[in-house]
Amino acid sequence: MLIQLHGFSHPRDLFRDGHFVDRFRRIWLYVASIVFRSTEAYANYMHEPSAADALRSEPLLSITPKQKGMLGPDRARQSIQTQLLARGLSEVPSSDTPLTKPKFYVPQLYGDISVDESTWAAASTHELCAATRKSGNHVCRADVCNKGKVGRCGFCRLGFWHWVSGTSKKGERTAVRAHGLPLQGRWDGVGPPPVSAVPPFRGAPLLETHHPFHIKMNPAIYLGPRCNHDLGVLLRMLLQYRPDSSAILHPAIAPPVPLRPGCPTTPHSSVTLTDAEIDAMTDTLLEDLDASEYYCSTYAT
C-alpha cells in the first residue's frame, strides 16, 4: 500500500512530508478492515444489526482442553467472558442451536446484486463463524509449531505467545513468555491506534482479540476462493524508542480520524522526529520491505 498508492523517492519522504500522522491512522484502519482476530470485530465492522444478531446465535469459539491446559483456568475463563461481552450476551448461547456448516464452494448469494445489505451481512457472519470454527482456532502441533529456537522452548513458532511480567528463578522481576495471544479490546478511536511494542509482532496493529488462538482471518479469503492459506498482512507500523526514556514513539499521537461518516474529530497535533529516529525507522522499513518482498514472491510461487 505504501509503495503502490503513496509512492516515495526515498523512505525519508514518508516522515518529512507532514502527512505521516494521518497516513499512519489510515493504514491502521485499512488493516483493520481486511484482517480480523475475532468474528465479533467483523460483525461490528458490518454496521448492520443483522450481523450482530447472526453472531449472537452462533456458538462461541471454544477453548480446547489442550488450550485450557496451556492458558490456565483464569485466562480460559476470561476468553469466554470477553467473547460474551463483545457480543452483548450475558450467558453462553444454547448448544441446541444447529451449527452452521462451512461450504466448500462460493455461494451464489455473494454475487447476487439483488441481495440487500442486511441479508448479506447476516449470511457472511454465519459463514465466517463456521469457517473459523473449522480452521481458525489454532491448535499447536509439536511437528509444526515446536521448531526453531522459540519452538524448542515449548512455545508456538507461529507467534501464538506473548511476553508478560514474571519472576525469575532468582526471584527477580523479568519478562517471560505466555502461551496464546494477549486479549485486546475494540479500539474506540480515541488516542493513538493500538500497536504492539514487543515481539513477536512488534509494530503490528493490535486488532480486537477475544480468543488467544484466533488466527488472522481474511474475510475475502474465507468468503471468496475458500483457500486455507494464511495471507497475513506483512505491514508493520514503525516504532522507535526515545533514547532518554522508556516511552515508545510513534507519530500517531494526534486525535483520530472519523471511523465512519459523521464521527467527530479535532485538528491533529504536530510531531517532531529527530534525525536519529528517522534514520532508525527508515532502516527498519527498508529491512522489512526486503524481507517481505522475498517472503511474498517465494510464498506466492
| DSSP codes of every residue in 209-251 | BSSTTB--B-HHHHHTT---S----------EE-TTSSPEE-S
- pTM score of the predicted model: 0.75
Annotated domain spans of the chain: 1-34+233-301, 36-137+211-229
For helices 73-87 and 49-56, the axis angle rounded to 10 degrees is 140
**b/e burial code for range 212-244 (CB count within 10 A of at least 16 → b):** bbbbbbbbebbbeeeeeeeebbebbbbbbeeee
Q: Between helices 73-87 and 39-46, what is the axis angle to 10°? A: 10
Q: Which amino acid, 108?
A: Q
pLDDT (tens, 9 = 90+) of the chain, 301 residues, equals 555 566 677 778 777 777 778 888 888 999 999 999 999 999 999 999 999 999 999 999 999 999 999 999 999 999 999 999 999 999 888 767 677 788 878 888 888 999 999 999 999 999 999 999 998 999 998 888 988 888 888 899 999 999 998 888 888 899 989 999 999 999 998 888 999 988 888 888 999 999 999 999 999 888 887 754 555 555 566 665 555 554 555 544 433 444 444 444 444 445 677 888 888 888 887 887 787 777 777 766 6
